[in-house]
Amino acid sequence: MKAVRQHEFGGPEVLVYEDAPIPELHKGEVRVKVHAIGLNPPDWYLRDGYKMLPPEWQPKGPFPIILGTDISGVIESVADDVEEFSVGDEVYSMVRFPSYGPSQAYAEYVNVPVSELALKPAGIDHVHTAGAPMSLLTAWQFMVEVGHDEQNPLQPNKHIPVSLEGKTVLINGAGGGVGHFAVQLAKWKGARVIAVASGRQEELVRELGANEFIDYTKTNADEVLKNIDLVIDAVGGPRTGRFLKTLKPGGSLFPIFPLGFSDHDEAERLGVTVSATQVRANGKQLSELAALLDQGVIRVVIDSTFPLAQARQSHERAARGHIQGKIVLTVDW
């Protein structure tokens, strides 16, 4: 089969489109003939060797690595013990995340554990389906239902979503992968949504349900907003603490990428909660979400598509930033 592999850590130039062995099928797995692959930040973090993590958390190999987790395709074969799915089923998945190495989605064929698999939403195509798994599961597990008991190593407390109905929710990075799903989920759950993104994304996020819009290139949302119930910071990182002062007492800040947050004392002083979880593969949740995608309750926005052979160019697109929705790789059969 053809796959995109890398033989060292580095920039987009390390991604090589080449021949690779079709993975051996094991018990509890199906082999999926891939039609589309969704890109996510962990793809470029792993490509680069997770340089932002402490050295003891950084992967060391072995090479070659095949990146990627999000796929949409058709089942080509099933293991002898698999009864839940059949050859020919159209399916989607976030494959084996979090883990280092075995996801291997940038390929023509991918083996998927049945526990991480769901039938593809019939009402959308493979490209849009592949754009959903990680970003939509992330928004869902942060905001609606965690769906697992794995502890976030960056905090001592268990992450607990908060009620959204009737609440005011600020979503930073509202036009990106997780952000554009967070806007839709918050609105669906009955929240008043304030979206923060660049001006070029205003029309989109308003279409997705945002009640108010702030162009971060013109206005600092943390300097003009008060009495927010929940902040979903889809950008996260060390600067996420600036949103603490926008929250009302008892409010919550959920940074999607919490690494670097250090304002714990300030959060305690203000009487607000800062909490995060780490998205985990979950076929049951993908089945629930497939119904929302199929009914049009949740819409997948596609920034751009690239053939699998142009994975390097897709990562270069990601590096330029200001992604609107999702970047997807396609496989032509």
The band of 151, judged by pLDDT with boundaries at 50, 70 and 90, is: confident
Whether residue 124 is predicted with pLDDT greater than 70 in this model: the reply is yes
Would residue 144 count as lying in a domain?
no
Using one digit for the tens of pLDDT, what is the confidence trace for 51-80? 888 888 888 778 999 999 999 999 999 999
Using one digit for the tens of pLDDT, what is the confidence trace for 205-232? 999 999 999 999 999 999 999 999 999 9
The band of 103, judged by pLDDT with boundaries at 50, 70 and 90, is: confident
Would residue 146 count as lying in a domain?
no
CATH number at residue 211: 3.40.50.720
Please state the domain count of the chain.
2
Residue percentage of the chain with pLDDT more than 70:
99
**Degrees, nearest 5: CA angle 121-126-128:** 80
**Degrees, nearest 5: CA angle 54-235-318:** 85
Instruction: Say what the pLDDT of residue 152 is.
Output: 84
Q: How far apart are alpha carbons 298 and 219 in whole angstroms? A: 28
Neighbours of 202 (CB within 10 A): 17
Place of tokens 């889809």: 234
Q: Which of 333, 328, 332 is nearest to 105 (CA)?
A: 328
47 and 122 share a domain? yes
Which residues touch 175 (CB under 8 Å, ≥6 apart)?
A: 195, 197, 198, 201, 204, 205, 323, 324, 325
Would residue 209 count as lying in a domain?
yes
Instruction: Say what the pLDDT of residue 101 is.
Output: 65
Q: Span 187-199, mean pLDDT? A: 97
Would residue 203 count as lying in a domain?
yes
169 and 213 share a domain? yes
Q: Which of 228, 246, 274 is the last residue of a domain?
A: 274
Mind giving me the DSSP string for 56-90? GGS---PSPEE---EEEEEEEEE-TT--S--TT-E
CA distances from 175 to 38, 116, 187, 247, 316 (A): 16, 27, 15, 22, 19
CATH number at residue 23: 3.90.180.10
228 and 296 share a domain? no
The band of 150, judged by pLDDT with boundaries at 50, 70 and 90, is: confident
11 and 123 share a domain? yes
CA distances from 77 to 5, 87, 219, 258 (A): 23, 6, 53, 39
323 and 299 share a domain? yes
Q: Which of 233, 257, 274 is the last residue of a domain?
A: 274
Query: Alpha-carbon Rg of the chain, whole angstroms?
Result: 19
Q: How far apart are alpha carbons 188 and 139 in whole angstroms? A: 13
Whether residue 118 is predicted with pLDDT greater than 80 in this model: the reply is yes
The band of 98, judged by pLDDT with boundaries at 50, 70 and 90, is: confident
| Residue 177 domain boundaries | 151-274
252 and 307 share a domain? no
28 and 125 share a domain? yes
6 and 120 share a domain? yes
17 and 90 share a domain? yes
77 and 173 share a domain? no
Would residue 224 count as lying in a domain?
yes
Whether residue 100 is predicted with pLDDT greater than 70 in this model: the reply is no
Our measurement of the distance from residue 75's CA atom to the centroid of its chain's CA atoms, rounded to an integer in Å, reads 23
Q: Which of 274, 292, 311 is the last residue of a domain?
A: 274
Using one digit for the tens of pLDDT, what is the confidence trace for 162-184? 999 999 999 999 999 999 999 99
The band of 35, judged by pLDDT with boundaries at 50, 70 and 90, is: very high
Would residue 145 count as lying in a domain?
no
Would residue 241 count as lying in a domain?
yes
Q: How far apart are alpha carbons 83 and 79 in whole angstroms? A: 9
* Sheet-wide strand order for 16-19: 16-19, 2-6, 65-66
Q: Which of 65, 173, 182, 131 is nearest to 305 (CA)?
A: 131
What predicted TM-score, i.e. pTM, was given to this entire model? 0.96
316 and 243 share a domain? no
62 and 175 share a domain? no
